[in-house]
A and B are shown apart, each in its own frame.
Chain A
Amino acid sequence: MASSRLRPFIPLIIFIVMAIFLGVGLTLNPREVPSPLINKASPAFTLPQLHSPDKTLGHTDFVGKVSLFNVWASWCAACRQEHGFLVQLEKQNILPIYGLNYKDDANDAKRWLIQYGGNPYVASAHDLDGRVGIDWGVYGVPETFVIDKKGMIRYKHIGPLDFHVWSKNIAPIVKQLQAE
């Protein structure tokens, strides 16, 4: 019977399938958590602005334009890496960049911006206790959201932004969203 001749090969076949998955696994990052907020409305929030605490920044401010929402903090080492790029990006005037200053001391944060090359943000929301961060599913800093004209989250990047990530992943999306 053909099947009984093939039966001894079953363990080998199972192993090969498993090895293929393990091989693919080597290219994946098991610690990266994808966001369930993609294509959903921005979680509602209203927070005092970092530089002008009497003014507020909220989810309603995203409506009407495509923008970046960048989560950052002065205690975050990787944020230093991306800061230079953000400052440059802002100068190109492609889209407004808003910030979420996450669990940070306000003075430390303001000083950090000056120290590392300027303020690329239209405004930064000051999330002292991190509660808004939880609503946005923030788990690691820095993180960057792309928000469309209706205020819906369309993309999330985890980790520092650089030119490569921007031009390959984010710029095309931004262009498409701005054309909508």
Chain B
Amino acid sequence: MKLKQITIIFVLSFWTVIVQAGIYAFEFDDPAKEQRFKQLSEELRCLVCQNQTLADSNAGLAMDLRKELYKQVLSDASDEEIKNFMVSRYGDFVLYKPPVKTSTYLLWFGPFILVAIALIILLRVIRSSNKQTPTTLSDADHKRAQQLLSENKD
């Protein structure tokens, strides 16, 4: 228990370094490339951090991967090529936008299927609650209703 506590504390004492944004300026002549670099570095995951993008991490590996990303963006590699580069080395884990494959169909289509199912059930519930016999209005009620309705016309 003691050793585990100490290990946890030891590990935790480093996390403040990694949490805050790492700011290392990479120079770009082309603003479009700078934009691509920014976007990709926000879609790729830092593998040694506790849930941070490559853009936000100070960790050594994140800096190395950003340098690599910088080189590839400058050399005109496409987004897909860069992502494939990362995935072939680190697996799907490195992408914050999970690829659409059989194992992630439930993830990507689930929400919309859920909306559809929910709305269908909703309609059925409301329709069935309306199947109950409608109440009949008395004459006095009818007159009052007429009055109110005519008030609303203007």
Contact = CB atoms under 8 A, between A and B. Distances in A.
A and B touch in the complex (CB under 8 A): yes
Interface of A: 31, 33-37, 43, 103, 129-131, 134-137, 139-140
B60 A33 contact: no
Contacts of A36: 87-91
Nearest to B60: A103
Contacts of A35: 91
B90 A33 contact: yes
A131 B71 CA distance: 12
A135 B93 CA distance: 16
A21 B72 CA distance: 39
Interface in B43-71: 47-48, 50, 60-61, 64-65, 68
B37 to A, nearest CB: 17
Contacts of A130: 60-61, 64
A138 B65 CA distance: 11
B60 A134 contact: no
Nearest to B61: A139
B64 A33 contact: no
A121 to B, nearest CB: 23
Interface of B: 47-48, 50, 60-61, 64-65, 68, 87-91, 93
A35 B91 CA distance: 7
A140 B48 contact: yes
Q: Which of A33, A37, A103 has the most CB of B within 10 A?
A: A33
B68 A134 contact: yes
B68 A33 contact: no
10 contacts: A36-B90, A36-B91, A37-B88, A43-B89, A129-B64, A134-B64, A136-B89, A139-B48, A139-B61, A140-B47
Q: Chain B interface mostly helix, strand, loop or mixed?
A: helix
A24 B93 CA distance: 19
Nearest to A40: B88
A36 B50 CA distance: 21
Give the one of A131, A134, A135 with max B CB within 10 A: A134
Contacts of B48: 139-140
Nearest to B50: A31
A65 to B, nearest CB: 25
Contacts of A134: 64-65, 68, 89
Contacts of B88: 36-37
Contacts of A131: 64, 68
A33 B93 contact: yes
Contacts of B47: 33, 139-140
Contacts of B65: 134
B64 A137 contact: no
A135 B90 contact: no
B64 A37 contact: no
Given A134-B64, A140-B48, A34 B89 contact: no
